[in-house]
């Protein structure tokens, strides 16, 4: 599967490492070609208290992979009495997808989390490639997100600054990419765990951008 084929599925997701945590965000529109199939679709999955998955691609494939990783993370914690390191989770997901590279999952994933070594973000492709980065984006709206992040991302920005930047970047994608739209989901992962940003806070940020 080529990157262009994945982009045709539509979606905008992003992940970034901030000072003391990781910010993961997605919009919520699901499309089938030019049809808006669902206005409110889950694309951001809590995998464990310290892990999140932002997903672009076929809904069935995405849900299966999220369930796989959630189950494996729970088993890891039960067997070892510790949380699965983010790098291990990325490697596991990479191996799962690589086993299907000749009949691939139609997905593009961003895995983010916080462990004993700090915050981490990985971009995973359909063939199983797993690339760590300070920030990344996936889906049809990703070119617009990268434009905002390249201009405004700073390595030492706080998670609050990261949330505002994530909302601004995905709003830019929604304004130019017809396959992206609806509400925005944002989660922050720190040493204290996974925290979903309340929808009312996101709406206030979106309204501020419209002024």
Q: Which residues are the active-site residues?
A: 11
Q: How far apart are CA 201 and CA 197, in angstroms?
A: 7
DSSP class of 154? -
Spatial neighbors of 39 by CB under 8 A, at least 6 apart, are 28, 29, 30, 181, 182
Burial label, 68 (beta-carbon count in 10 A; 0-12, 13-18, 19+): middle
Beta bridge partners of 186: 25
The residue among 15, 37, 45 whose CA lies nearest residue 142 is: 15
User: The tokens of 1 are what?
Assistant: 């599967």
Beta bridge partners of 19: 158
The answer to whether residues 56 and 28 touch, using CB atoms and an 8 Å cutoff, is: no
């Amino acid at each position: 599967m080529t990157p262009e084929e994945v982009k045709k599925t539509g979606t905008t997701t992003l992940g970034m490492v901030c000072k003391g945590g990781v910010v993961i965000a997605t919009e919520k529109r699901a499309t089938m070609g030019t049809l808006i199939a669902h206005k409110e679709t889950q694309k951001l999955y809590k995998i464990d208290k310290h892990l999140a998955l932002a997903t672009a691609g076929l809904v069935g494939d995405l849900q299966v992979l999220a369930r796989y990783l959630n189950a494996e993370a729970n088993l890891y914690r039960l067997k070892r009495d510790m949380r699965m390191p983010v790098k291990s989770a990325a490697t596991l997901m990479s191996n799962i997808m690589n086993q299907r590279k000749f009949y691939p999952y139609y997905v593009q994933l961003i895995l983010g989390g916080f462990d004993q070594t700090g915050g981490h973000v990985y971009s995973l492709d359909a063939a199983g490639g797993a690339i760590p980065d300070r920030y990344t984006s996936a889906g049809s709206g990703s070119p617009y997100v990268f434009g905002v992040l390249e201009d405004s991302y700073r390595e030492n920005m706080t998670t609050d600054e990261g949330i505002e930047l994530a909302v601004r970047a995905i709003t830019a994608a929604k304004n130019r990419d017809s396959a992206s739209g609806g509400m925005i989901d944002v989660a922050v992962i720190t040493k204290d765990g996974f925290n979903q940003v309340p929808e009312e806070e996101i709406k206030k940020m979106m309204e501020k951008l419209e002024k």
